[in-house]
Amino acid sequence: MSPREMYQQRRTTPAEAMRHVRDGDFIVVPTGVGEPPTLLTALSEQRMDFRDVKVGQILALRKYGYIDQATVDHVRHVAYFFGGATREGGQAGWVDFIPNYFSEIPDQIERGLMPADVVFSMASPMDDQGFFALSLGADYTMAAVAKARAVVLEVNPHVPFAYGNCRVHVSKVAALVESEEPVLEVGLPKIGVVQEAIGKYVADMIDDGSTLQIGYGGIPDAVVMQLAHKRDLGIHTEMIGDGILSLVESGAVTNRRKNYLPGKMIATFALGSGKLYRYMDRNPALEMHPVNYTNDPALAGMNDNLVAINATLQIDLLGQCGSESLGSAPFSGTGGQSDFVRAANRSKGGKAFIVLPSTAKGDTISRIVPVLSPGTHVTTSKNDVNYVVTEYGVAQLRGKSAKQRARELIGIAHPAFREELAAQAARIKLL
């Protein structure tokens, strides 16, 4: 049978596609804009017909009908990372959570530690050889495709046909539906003066020829905006967004000096504008790969001068970063933070930056604390953390003693909290 005939055979309606889901199944959905709106809407509409179905995803972007406390016995969301659509449910306990390093999710799926019975994913149109590109989120979805009983695709002409290991052959697909609505666009976060000041400290420490990983949140984007004048930057990252595209357009990114995959940018998921998605289409300068490849600390660390920029919510005086919860209330997830901190530590000349405003809630709370709030989920450990940056400067921690770390971190805390931090550090015998 030709690829075109296979395509026609599998083409169906969203409601019919739901027949591939069975009670007790675990459905894997890609990161962010790789989530298929037509399929997830159909699942939401039919959710009362199912029992004990779970949907697992990093960063759900839209609050579909199935993300509903009243119907969790039918279909429940399981977050690998919380975002706006799932945070409230996570904090109330009816959205479940699987802690993970992003880089290790594919391996846990392959080993059967994380379930993957069905895949629902956005996909590009099929090429003449019968391949679709899962370019918006190759992440753990490629591992789930290999493992799943049923792969169900939402084929959309706005999904780029990107290069890299993000292709699925039509023979592997159980059903497909077609949709035409533009891929969801996600704008850059608002950047204030504090974020800009932190961005400047980091940008000043990035040398021409460095390879970058840009994390998630306002400050990583503030750094990017201050790199337009740099030369010969490379990209080896988890998320490709409009910030990176702006560096390509300014001529700052050439990928010429990368030691690993020179001449190419690599990423595992995309989050940005229609312009970004169009840029990704059949562009030999970019490859989209599974996350066990992009985020493997050993592979990423093969690039000299790898710079990783990631945000945290709170840090203690030893340097333990609580980047993903506020006390015991989950806020986001580990994502690729620890992967890239370790990658930058391995890289010759590499620099791992953890960035945070010194305070929260109108300067009433110091985000640098003697001990983390009870219940905080530690994201980057004291053994991995290196450069920490606030609007008051840069603390370098790796190789430093506990006392030196406490002094360095108090030095970049908001001045109004420094005295109290020093007194508390003395009380817990850190100073």
CB of 188 to ligand COA, least distance (A): 12
Angle between helices 402-411 and 415-427 (to 10 degrees): 160
Whether 238 is catalytic:
yes
- For residue 137, the 8-state DSSP code is B
Of residues 317, 282, 310, 289, the one with CA closest to residue 424? 317
CB of 76 to ligand COA, least distance (A): 22
Identify the residue among 64, 216, 392, 417 touching ligand COA (CB under 6 A): 216
CB of 327 to ligand COA, least distance (A): 8
Rounded CA-CA distance 199/52 in Å is 45
Select 130 or 370, whichever has its Cβ closest to ligand COA: 370
The answer to the question of residue 377 lying near ligand COA (CB under 6 A) is no
Which region among 45-53, 178-186, 212-220, 250-258 touches ligand COA (by CB under 6 A)? Answer: 212-220
Q: Which amino acid is at 195?
A: Q
Nearer to ligand COA, 130 or 234 (CB): 234
Residue with tokens 């895949």: 119
DSSP string for residues in 153-222: EEE-TTS---BSS-EEEGGG-SEEEE--SPPPP-PPPP--HHHHHHHHHHHHTPPTT-EEEE-SSHHHHH
Is 390 a binding residue for ligand COA by CB under 6 A? The answer is no
Confirm if 325 and 333 have CB atoms less than 8 A apart: no
Specify the residue, 130 or 217, whose C-beta has the smaller distance to ligand COA. Answer: 217
Residues 6+ apart with CB under 8 A from 77: 54, 55, 57, 60, 66, 67, 86, 89, 95, 96
Taking each continuous run of H as one helix and of E as one strand, the counts in the chain are 15, 26
28 touches 49 (CB < 8 A): no
CB of 220 to ligand COA, least distance (A): 8
Q: Judged by CB under 6 A, which stretch of 29-37, 163-171, 211-219, 222-230 contacts ligand COA?
A: 211-219
Q: How many residues bind ligand COA, per CB under 6 A?
A: 26
Interface with ligand COA in residues 248-277 (CB under 6 A): none
The contact pattern for ligand COA, residues 322-351, with x = CB under 6 A and - = no contact, is -xx-x----xx--xxx--------------
Beta-bridge partner residues of 75: 53
- Contact residue for ligand COA among 218, 290, 319, 330 (CB under 6 A): 218
Q: Tell me the window of 130-138, 141-149, 318-326, 402-410 that interacts with ligand COA (CB under 6 A).
A: 318-326
- The residue annotated as part of the active site, out of 35, 238, 287, 391, is 238
Which span (151-159, 176-184, 215-223, 407-415) binds ligand COA, by CB under 6 A? Answer: 215-223
> For residues 145-204, which are near ligand COA according to CB under 6 A?
none
Under 8 Å between Cβ of 285 and 264: yes
Dihedral sign of CA atoms 78, 80, 84, 88 in order: positive
Query: Other CB atoms closer than 10 Å to residue 307's CB: what's the count?
Result: 28
Closest CB 331 distance from ligand COA, rounded Å: 5
Residue at token pair 């219940």 = 375
Among 100, 210, 268, 312, binds ligand COA (CB under 6 A): 312
Determine the interface stretch with ligand COA among 41-49, 197-205, 210-218, 381-389 (rule: CB under 6 A): 210-218
Are 174 and 117 in contact by the 8 Å Cβ rule? The answer is no
For residues 357 and 198, is the Cβ–Cβ distance under 8 A? yes
The binding site for ligand COA (CB under 6 A) comprises: 215-219, 238-239, 310-314, 323-324, 326, 331-332, 335-337, 357, 360-361, 365, 367, 379
